[in-house]
Amino acid sequence: MKFDELLMIPGPVQVHSRILNAMAKPVIGHRTPEFSEIMKNCTEGLKELFGTEGDVYLISGSGTAGMEAAIASFSKLDRITCIDNGKFGDRLGKIASRYTQVDVLSFEWGKSIDLEEVEKSLENGSQAVAFVHNETSTGILNPAEEIAKIARKHSALVIMDGITSVGGEEVKMDEWGVDVAIVGSQKCLGIPPGLAAVAVNEKAWEFYNEKAPFYLDLAAYRKKLKDWQTPYTPAVPLFAALDEAIKMIREEGLEKRIERHRKLSKAVREWAVNAGLELFPQLNDYSSYSNTVTAIKIPSGVTDKELRGGLKEEYGITISGGQEHLKGKIFRIGTMGNIGKREVIATLAAVEDILTRKGAAVPALNAALEVLS
Amino acid sequence: MKFDELLMIPGPVQVHSRILNAMAKPVIGHRTPEFSEIMKNCTEGLKELFGTEGDVYLISGSGTAGMEAAIASFSKLDRITCIDNGKFGDRLGKIASRYTQVDVLSFEWGKSIDLEEVEKSLENGSQAVAFVHNETSTGILNPAEEIAKIARKHSALVIMDGITSVGGEEVKMDEWGVDVAIVGSQKCLGIPPGLAAVAVNEKAWEFYNEKAPFYLDLAAYRKKLKDWQTPYTPAVPLFAALDEAIKMIREEGLEKRIERHRKLSKAVREWAVNAGLELFPQLNDYSSYSNTVTAIKIPSGVTDKELRGGLKEEYGITISGGQEHLKGKIFRIGTMGNIGKREVIATLAAVEDILTRKGAAVPALNAALEVLS
């Protein structure tokens, strides 16, 4: 018998039955008051998660579409600084280079970023900073507030990839001084992939570039938002899913939701360290461990295939490996969306079972249970 | 009691329960053999619908995203001819103008295009032609084969918006000489909105422009297709929906499916003419009525609001009005996807009820029934 898969990767996440059922409702026309009501609820809910009074635009597409919409729409500038300490920071730079000059600040994947270099880049005339808040490829939470603070000193535009933080981690765009931020549907919001949202404050429009791609030009989304509509046909079932997800987030309460994400990831970290494993990130004072994904080095005595393949085969649980040059070197456990200690403890027990059989770890479930109870 | 809505608009269409249920299945990871199998079935099924041996790339986004991906990726040319005899032809020109010089050939909305003007534009040095196969804003099927024939004489690239024809109308890309074509998910394929597919033959790559938007750069999709994967996180539930839709199309058979679309639209037209209404398109020898949407002039004695509002209020049926300057002047009935004579006859009876009460039409259901039986 093939069991339903349990997705413990840093997105797409496990989707709650309420959200799956919302998608299976008959499709409604999108140029209707019924759809506008969904748009309104989704937009207003997302504003709370972003911590902004600005607009939020919903794009049918992946998180990458949201990132490109953000960068391309606000690229009327000579130079942008892109911070790269992981796969998604690297992607930011690649996208930005299609629209303007890019000053890439590269740091070793898994290491914290150096704020002095950010300051230096801005002093040298860069007019904007783009960075990833929660770098899922390495399990690091980058210092959003500090980066924005430096940028504000130089009146630079701040673009934040919050794809895997918004909805599961504290994000306070307006308070921090972040001008543009992006979230993806299949991460902490707990719905399937296919939607991105871009939050934008007034300042960003000073940098508006009318040569942005047609589909990703946020001015068209702004115009239509006044009627709670999208400029192009929206992925209706995913909007219905987001509508339900926002209701679930309101029922739980945002603070409690963030606290839950912190607790679940802390349990993973405590288990890992006590099991004799090594966390992948090397933190300095400005960074912290991600609360939505934990990256752990694969111990000697076991291969990536034995670990992740066995987990899927024996337990029907999917976790992630490393990306690019980290393939075979780390594994990653997501703690995002609408999951609880049941899913986390099952995952840790299963990983532990495989690792201890290979002599690659020692039992440490108690350490996780202590955090969770 | 509020009944489920019956969508008889030219997309998004009514979605079959098999497809709704496919979307409600637990989300699977997208970097898995299970997802690749879905990709393979979707891609191979779409190739048959496009009538091509070329590649088909699946993009998470609306039809407009597909159109822009097609135009932007193959825009290494000095000038493109865009044929505009409706809203979507107009949009083609707007998108193309972000990437190259555009020679717009405008014809009155609702009128056929003039092939001599296409020839003239190509003689004047345009290297590509972009056009809409089935123009839903006006209910006209444009002469794809003839346009491609002229373009071939001049070795020009042919880009066809088949968003509302592929899967419900005859499309033979390779035979006709169409190099690039686009379809949208929420039309004749019968699934919800949120996916676009672009079919591409080898010739198109001679025009590849590496400066296409990152998210819409088809080279990235081509690279990943080798492993039956997408470059960015796909909208998994919509891929599951497409997978089921392709199975349903195979069960019905493509020829029978096209025949069904032709019959349903013919029934609408026969009813309209016999009810004393006027079809909106003015055809010449090269065009025909669309088989996926019928545009009819709103007769005097009734307003758009009374007609469409009453239909929704009293019957729970949604049909479309006119777009842009055609607002209030026409109404449109879609005959796309997985619907049959039951839905069409209910819609015509309901429209007839409202119109005859206003003295704006005479009973003519028999004319439709004759076609359908």
What pLDDT score does B286 carry? Answer: 86
- In A261-312, which ranges are E strands? 288-289, 293-297
Interface contact B238-A235, CB threshold 8 A: yes
What pLDDT score does A134 carry? Answer: 98
Interface contact A32-B318, CB threshold 8 A: yes
If contacts are CB pairs under 8 Å, which of residues 236-275 in chain B contact chain A? 236-238
- Kindly state the tokens that stand for A261: 């994400």
Element (H, E) at A254: helix A254-274
What pLDDT score does A14 carry? Answer: 95
Burial class (CB within 10 angstroms; exposed 0-12, middle 13-18, buried 19+) of A316: middle
Element (H, E) at B181: strand B180-184
Which of A14, A27, A88 best tests the B interface by mutation, with the highest count of B CBs <10 A? A27
Place of tokens 């839950």: A260
* Overall average pLDDT of the A87-113 stretch: 96
| Minimum distance, in Å, between the CA of residue A271 and any CA atom of chain B | 25
Burial class (CB within 10 angstroms; exposed 0-12, middle 13-18, buried 19+) of B266: middle
Residue range B34-86, pLDDT digits in tens: 999 999 999 999 999 999 999 999 999 999 999 999 999 999 999 999 999 99
Nearest CA in chain A to B236: A193
Does pLDDT of B2 surpass 90? Answer: no
Which of B38, B60, B210, B224 best tests the A interface by mutation, with the highest count of A CBs <10 A? B60
What pLDDT score does B4 carry? Answer: 86
How far is residue B114's CA from residue B117's CA, in Å, rounded to a whole number? 6
Q: Tell me the pLDDT of chain A averaged across its residues.
A: 97
Q: A227: left (phi > 0), else alpha (psi -120 to 50), else beta?
A: alpha
Residue A84, helix vs strand vs coil: strand
What pLDDT score does A1 carry? Answer: 73
Phi then psi for residue A340, to 5 deg, are -130, -165
User: Within an 8 Å CB–CB cutoff, is residue A93 touching chain B?
Assistant: no
Does pLDDT of A286 surpass 90? Answer: no
pTM of the model: 0.96
Instruction: Tell me what percent of the residues of chain B surpass a pLDDT of 70.
Output: 100
Question: Where do the H-state alpha helices sit in chain B?
Answer: 17-23, 33-50, 63-73, 87-96, 115-123, 144-153, 173-176, 218-225, 236-252, 254-274, 304, 310, 341-357, 365-372
Interface contact B5-A232, CB threshold 8 A: no
User: Within an 8 Å CB–CB cutoff, is residue A324 touching chain B?
Assistant: no
Residues of B in contact with A21 (CB under 8 A): 24
CA-closest candidate to residue B68, choices B188, B239, B196: B196
User: Within an 8 Å CB–CB cutoff, is residue A215 touching chain B?
Assistant: yes
What pLDDT score does A122 carry? Answer: 97
If contacts are CB pairs under 8 Å, which of residues 272-291 in chain A contact chain B? none
User: CB–CB of B71/B93 below 8 Å?
Assistant: no
* Overall average pLDDT of the B4-32 stretch: 95
Please name the amino acid found at residue B344: V
Q: Which residues partner with B131 through β-bridges?
A: B160
Instruction: Name every residue whose Cβ is closer than 8 Å to that of residue A323 and which is 6 or more positions away in sequence.
Output: A87, A137
Q: Which residues partner with B200 through β-bridges?
A: B55, B180
Interface contact B232-A29, CB threshold 8 A: no
Instruction: Tell me what percent of the residues of chain A surpass a pLDDT of 70.
Output: 100
Does pLDDT of B1 surpass 90? Answer: no
What pLDDT score does A346 carry? Answer: 97
Domains of chain B listed by start with CATH number = 6-13+253-372 (3.90.1150.10), 17-252 (3.40.640.10)
Does pLDDT of B257 surpass 80? Answer: yes
Element (H, E) at A122: helix A115-123
Does pLDDT of A284 surpass 90? Answer: no
Residues of A in contact with B23 (CB under 8 A): 20, 23-24, 237
User: Within an 8 Å CB–CB cutoff, is residue A357 touching chain B?
Assistant: no
* Overall average pLDDT of the A234-257 stretch: 98
How far is residue A366's CA from residue A372's CA, in Å, rounded to a whole number? 10
* Overall average pLDDT of the A250-278 stretch: 98
What pLDDT score does A3 carry? Answer: 80
User: CB–CB of A68/A213 below 8 Å?
Assistant: yes
User: CB–CB of B184/B39 below 8 Å?
Assistant: no
| Minimum distance, in Å, between the CA of residue B65 and any CA atom of chain A | 6
What pLDDT score does A4 carry? Answer: 87
Residue range A311-338, pLDDT digits in tens: 999 999 999 999 999 999 999 999 999 9
If contacts are CB pairs under 8 Å, which of residues 216-235 in chain B contact chain A? 216, 232-235
Residue range A348-357, pLDDT digits in tens: 999 999 999 9
CA-closest candidate to residue B134, choices B102, B158, B168: B168
For residue B82, CA distances in Å to A181, A233, B108, B145, B202 come to 36, 22, 14, 16, 22
Please name the amino acid found at residue B165: S
Q: Tell me the pLDDT of chain B averaged across its residues.
A: 97
Instruction: Name every residue whose Cβ is closer than 8 Å to that of residue A105 and which is 6 or more positions away in sequence.
Output: A81, A82, A83, A84, A113, A114, A117, A118, A121
For the residues of A125-140, what is the DSSP string, one character each? T--EEEEESEETTTTE
How far is residue A135's CA from residue A85's CA, in Å, rounded to a whole number? 8
Nearest CA in chain B to A196: B61
Residue range B103-123, pLDDT digits in tens: 999 999 999 999 999 999 999
User: CB–CB of A131/A83 below 8 Å?
Assistant: yes
What pLDDT score does A213 carry? Answer: 98
Which of A34, A60, A311 best tests the B interface by mutation, with the highest count of B CBs <10 A? A60
* Overall average pLDDT of the A113-121 stretch: 96
Residue B285, helix vs strand vs coil: coil
CA-closest candidate to residue B91, choices B157, B146, B164: B164
Instruction: Tell me what percent of the residues of chain A surpass a pLDDT of 90.
Output: 97
Residue range A179-195, pLDDT digits in tens: 999 999 999 999 999 99
* Overall average pLDDT of the B252-271 stretch: 98
